[in-house]
Amino acid sequence: MGPPAAGPARNGSSTPERATDRGPDPATPDGRVPGQRGMATRQRLLEATVELVSSTPWRSVRVIDIARRAGTSPATFYQYFENVEQAIGVLAGDIVDKAAELADLFAGDWSEEGGFETALTVVEGVLDYWEDNRAVFRVIELATDEGNVHLQGIRVRALNAVTVGLAQAVARHSPAAGTPSGMVTSSPAGSDPMAVAATLVTMIASIAAHRYGFEFWGIRTRDLVDSQARLLLWSVTGRRGPDAMVGREVRATRRTPGPRTGPVPGGAVVAHRVGGDR
């Protein structure tokens, strides 16, 4: 996920939500609340939407495609959603709920004994969160680039929930002496806890989005998680991660690099220089 189009709210507030996007009792376009069978049908339509946007440009997804995938009719689809964009908006709204749950991970144990484990749990949580919602995030990114203000607002809210949780952890575990609580931090990553948190959240989310590209270059996800956890721990507490570990694994005393599946960075430059020296 790219950087938010608008900065996260420091008080945890967010953009107003559409009533049809979220809520414990989602209403149909005509205002009715579906019963148990209706909710099951609605869920099948949402799952079909996710499946289609995972493999098809979202602008090419049609109501009839979703209805067929869900084993129902376009008329049934319109009983629950006004159009494809609204169905995607519902899926995107669910992401905000999950982001709030993800923010709870920052309340973990940041002590010397448990800090690195907590940092790993946070990074892995973001990675899993992104993977579980990859298709919807892709649509949100594309729609935001197209100027879709509503989906852009959902992206900001999702980032805001995580950023505020991390900023609170930074302020709590790296307080600056003689300053109002939460306003300034002694974190080596910066004095503004929200700036530190926004930078880290953008980094972790972006790496989660591009993990397969890094894998292509031979950069293992395990090593990406380890590096991010160390940066996170350092930013929150000012401490380094354990020297003897790579993630949760004991570091090998002698590591033989595995073969890269993508081009070797700088390989063309090296080859050129070697050829020029002959």
Asked whether 268 and 276 are in contact (CB, 8 A), the reply is no
73 within a domain of the structure (yes/no):
no
76-87 pLDDT, tens digit per residue, is: 999 999 999 899
Helix, strand, coil percentages in the chain from 3-state DSSP, rounded to 5: 60, 0, 35
130 within a domain of the structure (yes/no):
yes
Asked whether 25 and 33 are in contact (CB, 8 A), the reply is yes
Asked whether 187 and 197 are in contact (CB, 8 A), the reply is no
211 within a domain of the structure (yes/no):
yes
63 within a domain of the structure (yes/no):
no
Whole-number Cα distances in Å, 3 to 36, 118, 156: 39, 24, 9
172 within a domain of the structure (yes/no):
yes
Strand 245-246 and strand 249-250: the pairing is antiparallel
Dist CA 102 CA 231 (whole Å): 18
103 within a domain of the structure (yes/no):
yes
65 within a domain of the structure (yes/no):
no
Taking the whole predicted model, whether its pTM rises above 0.85 is answered as no
pLDDT of residue 94: 87
* CA-atom Rg of the chain in angstroms: 22
Which CATH number characterizes residue 226's domain? 1.10.357
pLDDT of residue 227: 96
Asked whether 200 and 91 are in contact (CB, 8 A), the reply is no
228-263 pLDDT, tens digit per residue, is: 999 999 999 999 999 988 888 887 755 555 555 555
- Please list the ranges in the chain whose pLDDT falls under 70: 1-28, 30-31, 181-182, 253-278
Instruction: Please count the structural domains in the chain.
Output: 1
pLDDT of residue 246: 87
70 within a domain of the structure (yes/no):
no
pLDDT of residue 149: 83
pLDDT of residue 178: 76
Q: Which residue range(s) make up the domain with 188?
A: 92-249
